[in-house]
Amino acid sequence: MEEILLKYLLGELEETEQKNLLRQIADNEELREAYIRMQNMYALSFLTTDFSQEMEGKKGYHDFTQRLHTKKQKKLICSIIQYAAIFLLITTSTFFVTRALFTQANDEQELNTLYVPAGQRAQLTLHDGTQVWLNSQSTLIYPSKFSKNKREVSLEGEAYFNVAEDRKKPFVVSTQQLTMEVLGTEFNVDSYKKNGYTRIALVNGSIKVRETSKKGQSILLSPNQQITFSNNLMRHEKLSDPEHLLWRDGIYAFNNARLIQIIEKLELYYDTQIEIEDPEIFNARYTGKFRQRDGIDEILHILQKTQSFNILKDREKNIITLSK
């Protein structure tokens, strides 16, 4: 297993292998401890315990990289910088990454990929000071340092952005369906492939939205408005459910939602399959808030109190069956 952990830190595992390993780390305490010990050997070489001491962190990191001579070694350090904070995500559900962690010793554009496992969420601060919250099973691709003309990131899944204002350098978020451009604002992007739609909700400021595959006219969004893109159609409307954005605080909120809608979200957030034997269960509606850390079992038991149904869990196949 140590060999697999080392390959993970070196960036030599395929995406599917990485996700499987992260799930194992989350479920296995001994594996988690082994991973923490291994990454700490590297991380402690350049991390300062006081994030406010940014200059000290930069100096320590610079001195460390001066001892590297090969391209592969430099690639290793860039990988370690990305993954050094992952154990914080696994053990506390959220983690914070500061600018000092991602400052490069040269001007090369290094891309980082951050994947958030099921049942977790993450928070990080980008090089320009922009804050990003990532929901479960979301992936953010971002540079260690933005270029002189543009700040650009790519997202699959759901993220909340609080963009640092810079009118000379637009901030661009690209998803499979939509691309948005802002100068400084707060907005939420929901773009899971499984959902088949992309929804952008604006909280503050303004934002330009266009189809990713087209360079044509964009739509300007105002605060408390949202855009939903589905089946090649763009729907511009008032923000329908502001409480949904509570996910970044670890709260899943549902307002008069059908059980089928809640189940679809739970499957996505906790990476499990839920089967319903009796279609009548679909029609039940629920309003309530659940804590992410409660887990899917506790959430289903709470729903069960409102309308009685049986819960059968097959842990080996990762399938939950609901029946009357």
Question: Above 90 in pLDDT, residue 280?
Answer: no
Look at residue 164 in the predicted model and tell me its pLDDT: 92
Query: What does each C-alpha distance from 121 to 15, 27, 261 come to in angstroms?
Result: 18, 16, 21
pLDDT tens digits, residue range 193-247?
988 899 999 999 999 999 988 876 789 999 999 999 998 889 999 998 889 999 9
Look at residue 23 in the predicted model and tell me its pLDDT: 72
Residue linked to tokens 């970044």:
248
Query: Is 109-249 a CATH 2.60.120.1440 domain?
Result: yes
Mean pLDDT of the chain: 77
Pick the CATH number of 250-323 from 3.30.70.330, 3.40.50.2300, 3.40.50.1820, 3.55.50.30: 3.55.50.30
Strand, coil or helix: 97: coil
Question: Above 50 in pLDDT, residue 254?
Answer: yes
Domain limits of the chain? 1-92, 109-249, 250-323
- Give the pTM: 0.67
Query: What does each C-alpha distance from 85 to 43, 102, 114, 125 come to in angstroms?
Result: 9, 11, 10, 12
**For residue 118, what is the DSSP state?**
T
**Residue 38 pLDDT level (bands cut at 50, 70, 90):** low
For 304, phi then psi, to 5°, come to -65, -30
Look at residue 215 in the predicted model and tell me its pLDDT: 74
Mean pLDDT of 87-102: 38
pLDDT tens digits, residue range 148-189?
888 999 999 999 999 999 988 999 999 999 999 998 899 999
Q: Which is nearest to 189 in space by CA: 255, 146, 135?
A: 135
Of the two residues 204 and 103, the one the predictor is more confident about is 204
Tokens coding 2: 């140590």
Q: For CA atoms 128, 129, 131, 134, give the dihedral sign.
A: positive
Mean pLDDT of 130-153: 91
**What is the rounded distance in angstroms from the CA atom of residue 140 to the CA atom of residue 132?**
9
Look at residue 228 in the predicted model and tell me its pLDDT: 94
CA angle (23 as vertex; 103, 41 as ends), nearest 5: 45
**What is the rounded distance in angstroms from the CA atom of residue 111 to the CA atom of residue 39?**
20
Same fold, 109-249 and 250-323: no
Tokens coding 121: 């969420």
Percent residues over pLDDT 90 in the chain = 31
Q: Which is nearest to 211 in space by CA: 164, 170, 160, 175?
A: 175
**What is the rounded distance in angstroms from the CA atom of residue 193 to the CA atom of residue 182?**
23
Q: How many helices (H) and strands (E) does the chain have?
A: 8, 18
Question: Above 70 in pLDDT, residue 312?
Answer: yes
Look at residue 29 in the predicted model and tell me its pLDDT: 67
**Residue 261 pLDDT level (bands cut at 50, 70, 90):** confident
Q: What is the DSSP string of 158-182?
A: EEEEEPPP-TTS-EEEE-SSEEEEE
Question: Above 60 in pLDDT, residue 288?
Answer: yes
**Residue 56 pLDDT level (bands cut at 50, 70, 90):** very low
